């Protein structure tokens, strides 16, 4: 999985939202993509978790041309700072109020 922690600057750029959505769409089309979860709070702090079948898929996504161009835009226009970490999911479990009990969940999404 890839962890992307970021802080947006205070410029209100309509291009950011559009590009962000485009990146989610594009990521979903990549080989090895399993899923993505992204949250950003009112202060501009965001965490995006993306899940992939293997590390080669993550490297390929990092090397994707359009993704690279957008990364430049991110540095130039949208982010104060960000951090990327690559991690290996080892186990997981979930809980849902509807079923009222915890259960093992897929570790990869």
Instruction: Name the site residues for its own copies (rule: CB under 8 A).
Output: 1, 3, 5, 9, 37, 39-42, 45-47, 49, 75, 79-98, 100, 105, 107
52 in Cβ contact with 33 (< 8 Å): yes
65: CB partners within 8 A, 6+ apart: none
Q: Residue 43 or residue 65: which is nearer to its own copies going by CB?
A: 43
Q: Rounded to whole angstroms, how far apart are CA atoms 101 and 79?
A: 39
**Min. distance of Cβ 28 from its own copies in angstroms?**
18
Give min distance, CB of 29 to its own copies, in A: 23
């Amino acid at each position: 999985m890839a962890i992307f922690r970021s802080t947006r600057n205070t410029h209100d750029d309509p291009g950011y939202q559009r590009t962000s959505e485009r990146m989610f769409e594009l990521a979903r089309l990549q080989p090895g993509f399993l899923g993505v979860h992204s949250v950003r709070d009112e202060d501009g702090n965001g965490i995006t978790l993306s899940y992939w079948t293997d590390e080669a898929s993550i490297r390929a996504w990092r090397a994707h041309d359009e993704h690279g161009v957008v990364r430049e835009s991110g540095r130039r226009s949208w982010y104060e700072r960000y951090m990327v970490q690559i991690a290996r999911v080892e186990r997981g479990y979930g809980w849902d109020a509807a079923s009222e009990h915890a259960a093992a969940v897929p570790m990869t999404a």
